[in-house]
Amino acid sequence: MFAPLLSLTVLLASDAPPLIMRVDSARLEVTLTVGPLQLPAAMAGEGHADMHKDGHGLPLMRVAWPISGWIRGFRIKIHDSRGRPLSRRLLHHVNLFHLERRQLLEPVFERTIAAGQETDDVSLPSSIGVRIESGAEMALLSAWANESSEELHDVVLDLVVSYLPDNTRPRPRDVRSFVMDIGFRPGKTDAFDVGPGRTVHQRDFVLATGGRILGVGGHLHDYGQSIALMDLTTGKVLFKLDARRDSAGKLTGVGRKLFGVRGDGLHLRAGRTYRVIAIYQNPQDRTLIEGGMGLLAGIFAPDDSARWPVLDQRDATFLADLAGLDRIGWAASGPPR
Contact 257, 210 (CB under 8 A): no
Report DSSP letters for 88-107, one per residue.
Answer: GGGEEEEEEEEEEEE-SSSS
Per-residue burial over 179-192, b = 16 or more CB atoms within 10 Å of its CB, e = otherwise: bbbbbbebbeebbb
Q: How many C-beta atoms lie closer than 10 Å to residue 240's C-beta?
A: 16
Tell whether 166 and 296 lie within a shared domain: no
In a domain, 216, yes or no: yes
Model confidence, pTM: 0.87
Q: What is the mean pLDDT of residues 126-150?
A: 93
Tell whether 144 and 164 lie within a shared domain: yes
Residue 8 β-bridge partners:
21
Residue 181, CA atoms < 13 Å, CB-side half-sphere: 22
Tell whether 198 and 215 lie within a shared domain: yes
Helices (H) and strands (E) in the chain, counts: 2, 23
Tell whether 211 and 321 lie within a shared domain: no
In a domain, 48, yes or no: yes
Query: What is the per-residue pLDDT across 206-264, written as a single tens digit (0 to 9) for each?
Result: 998 999 999 999 999 999 999 999 999 999 999 999 999 888 878 888 999 989 765 68
Tell whether 255 and 109 lie within a shared domain: no
Helix or strand holding residue 50 (H, E): helix 48-53
Residue 61 to residue 58: CA distance in whole angstroms: 8
**Mean predicted lDDT score pLDDT of the chain:** 89
Assign 43 a pLDDT band (cuts: 50, 70, 90).
Answer: low
In a domain, 274, yes or no: yes
Q: What is the mean pLDDT of residues 111-123?
A: 87
Q: How many C-beta atoms lie closer than 10 Å to residue 279's C-beta?
A: 20
CA 169, chain centre distance (Å): 29
Query: What is the per-residue pLDDT across 54-85, written as a single tens digit (0 to 9) for each?
Result: 445 789 999 999 999 999 999 999 999 899 99
Tell whether 32 and 160 lie within a shared domain: yes
**Is the torsion defined by CA of 10, 21, 56, 293 positive or negative?**
positive
Residue 18 to residue 331: CA distance in whole angstroms: 10
Give the range among 1-10, 67-76, 132-141, 145-154 with minimum mean pLDDT.
1-10
- Looking up residue 98, the CATH number of its domain turns out to be 2.60.120
Tell whether 102 and 228 lie within a shared domain: no
In this prediction, residue 148 carries a pLDDT of 86
DSSP3 helix / strand / coil % (the chain, rounded to 5): 5, 50, 40
In this prediction, residue 1 carries a pLDDT of 33
In a domain, 335, yes or no: no
Residue 213 to residue 305: CA distance in whole angstroms: 14
Contact 61, 16 (CB under 8 A): yes
What share of the chain in percent tops pLDDT 70?
A: 89
Give the range among 39-43, 138-142, 307-311 with minimum mean pLDDT.
39-43
Tell whether 45 and 185 lie within a shared domain: no
What share of the chain in percent tops pLDDT 90?
A: 74
In a domain, 333, yes or no: no
In a domain, 80, yes or no: yes
Tell whether 18 and 79 lie within a shared domain: yes
Query: What is the per-residue pLDDT across 81-108, written as a single tens digit (0 to 9) for each?
Result: 899 999 988 998 999 999 999 999 999 9
The total number of structural domains that make up the chain: 2
Which residues form the domain of 107? Answer: 5-173+312-328
With H, G, I as helix, E, B as strand and everything else as coil, classify residue 51.
Answer: helix
In a domain, 79, yes or no: yes
Tell whether 154 and 190 lie within a shared domain: no
Give 64 or 336, the one with higher predicted confidence. 64
Tell whether 160 and 187 lie within a shared domain: no
Tell whether 25 and 141 lie within a shared domain: yes
Whether the predicted pLDDT of 15 surpasses 80: no
In a domain, 337, yes or no: no
